[in-house]
Structure 1
Amino acid sequence: MAQRKTMQHDPCPVARALDLVGDRWSMLIIRDALDGIRRFGDFQRNLGVARNILADRLAALVEHGLLATQAASDGSAYHEYVLTSKGESLFTAIVALRQWGERHLFAPGEAHSVLVETGSGKRVAAMHPHDHEGKVLKPAHAVVKKVTLK
C-alpha cells in the first residue's frame, strides 16, 4: 500500500487538521471521548472498528496530544484515554459537523441523536461564524489570505 502524503507542513490550517483527524475513526473517537468513553474495549464496542485500526488511531491521537493515557480510575491494570485541552477543543468542530449533518443528512422527522445543554436540557443553538461586528458571516464575505511559499 502506498504511503499517503503528509500535510504536516502545509500552510493551510484545514489541511494540517485533516491530516491528523480527517479520517472518520479519529473524529468518532474524539466524539466518543467527549461523551465520556475512556477504555479501548468501550471505544471498540461503540464504534465497531477493528482492533488494529483503533489501536493505530488512539496511538496517533496520543502522539499528537489530543488524548493522554492514565491509570484506570477503578484501580485495575488497564489504562484509560482522556482528552487533553487540545483534544477537548475539537468540541466546536464536532458540534459544527453534527449540526451540518442534522440539517442535510436526515429526512424531515427522521429520528437522530440531539445535542442538549446539560443544565437546561435544551438543544444547543446552531453555530455560525460571526464577523468583527457580531453579524453572521457568509462564505461570500470571507476570503483566505494565502501565504506565498518560497
Structure 2
Amino acid sequence: MEIISEKLVSTYNIITRRWSIHILYELLDSPKKFKEIYREISGISEMMLARRLEDLQKERLITKHFTSNEAYAMYVLTEKGKTLSSFIPNLIEWSYTHFLITGDEHTTNKEDRRDGTAF
C-alpha cells in the first residue's frame, strides 16, 4: 500500500501544480504553439507558461517538436500524457457538477450544502 500512496502523491503533485491541468487540457485535442496555449489560458504569464511547459516536459507528459523549417515549436502530449485524456475531462466534469466558483471562493453546489456534505 505504501508504494501506491507514494505514486498517488507524486501524480497529485505533478498535475496540481498551478496551470498544469490547464495546459494539459489545451493539448488534449491537438498540438499547439506556445502563443496558442498562452492565448487560451486566461491569467497565466508567459514566464509561468514557459516554466510549466518545462516541468511537464521533465515529467514526460508533453514534448516539444519543431516544425520542418524550425520557425516555431509545437507542444504535444506524449504517450504518457495521452493517458490523461479521459481523466482530465472527467475531473473537469466532476468539478462542474460539485462546485460553484464565485470570485476566489469555492463553494459546493446547492444540494451538497443542504445535506451538510462539504468537500
TM-score (norm 2): 0.71
2:37 aligned to 37, 40, 43, which one?
43
Q: State the partner residue of 1:53.
A: 48
> CA distance change for structure 1 residues 45 and 37 in 2, over 3 Å: closer, same or farther?
farther
Structure with the larger RCO, 1 or 2 (CA within 8 Å, 6+ apart): 2
CA RMSD of aligned residues (A): 2.1
**Structure 2: runs of 5 or more not aligned:** 101-119
Question: For residue 81 of structure 1, what is the amino acid of its counterpart?
Answer: Y
2:97 aligned to 98, 103, 111, which one?
103
- Whether contact under 8 Å (2:66, 2:72) holds in the other structure is yes
Q: How many percent of aligned residue pairs carry the same amino acid?
A: 29
**Structure 1: runs of 5 or more not aligned:** 1-8, 107-150
CA distance in 2, matches of 1:103, 1:11: 27
Question: For residue 23 of structure 1, what is the amino acid of its counterpart?
Answer: R
- Give the match's secondary structure for 1:81: strand
2:65 aligned to 65, 70, 77, which one?
70
Structure 1 residues 28-57: Cα deviation after superposition (integer angstroms, max 9, x where no partner): 100000032511101111103101110000
Q: State the partner residue of 2:19.
A: 25
Question: For residue 96 of structure 1, what is the amino acid of its counterpart?
Answer: N
Tell me the CA shift for residue 69 of structure 1.
1.0
TM-score (norm 1): 0.57
Report which of the two structures shows the higher radius of gyration computed on alpha carbons. Answer: 1
Tell me the CA shift for residue 91 of structure 1.
1.3
CA distance in 2, matches of 1:65, 1:93: 17
Aligned pair count reads 97
Q: State the partner residue of 1:139.
A: none
Q: Kindly report structure 1 stretches of 4+ aligned residues shifted beyond 3 Å.
A: none
Q: Name the one with the larger helix percent.
A: 2
